[in-house]
Structure 1
Amino acid sequence: MLDSIGITADRNYEGRVDEAQLEWLRADLSAQPKGQRIVVITHIPLLTAMQCYEPVSWLDTPHNWTFVTNGREVLRILKDYNVVAVLQGHSHVYERIELNGIRFISTGAVAGADWRGSFLGTTEGYTEITIDGQDVSSAYVTYGFATPYREDVPI
């Protein structure tokens, strides 16, 4: 499990895995038996397509909250191991991406858009993950939440 919330100098945050964790990750992975199945969990995604569909206004921020800014470095560490999945969240959007045999699964949120309906097309729900040998599958489950209409809360 990686803490991908990097605190910034102005007391905000961005997606980042710090150097101490990168060192820990290298050591932890090297201690695993060869071929061991590994699942990585992180809050802010290492890999996402969100930049392709998020509102353009979200790009005008001082810090990157959409993905881990040094995700390439993390992926270089993972590439030599039997990582079958990276489970990630933060975006409240359900995505499944496969790259070099690793499944990157981002889950939606039980709160959707903070209890105001779906968020960028992902309704309120949760993700069920199934691991069977090397196969990793996921299914997003909605539960029929009905958003109460409120004029004071824009959707």
Structure 2
Amino acid sequence: MKIVSWNCNGAFRNKFSRLNELNADIYIIQECEDPNKTNAASYTQFANNHIWIGHGHKGLGIFARDTIKLKNNNWPSYGLEYFLSCRVDDKFNLLGIWGCNNYIEDIHTYVQIHKRHLENCIIGGDFNSNAIWDKNINAEITQRLSVN
């Protein structure tokens, strides 16, 4: 099974055809719009088998071939976003992630909350983590500690 993740940076309805050459079974797409709220017929057809979460024009979607069964696990997010979990063909869990806002902190928290589900799980997505942000995070933590 081939799984591809891509942060499409919005307007996925105009970009999804770029995935044809990859010929994947499942796509985890960050910053995509809800296929149920578009007028783009070709995008709706592509998204015939999907689950999606988000707000407005941007969210996280998992798209699969019609022959693959996706069942939304509906794992609670406790206000953390964007995390989308599903059961694939009743064989394994797939956790799609789009790290934004608090980035790696939210991902760490979400994974800790749901670690009991992760034994037979594939995690993929956009983690938005980079060592260049470490100084900023450490400076912010230091500043918060010095204020208290």
Is the TM value for this pair above 0.5?
no
Higher helix share: 2
Please give the TM-score of this superposition, normalised by the length of structure 1: 0.34
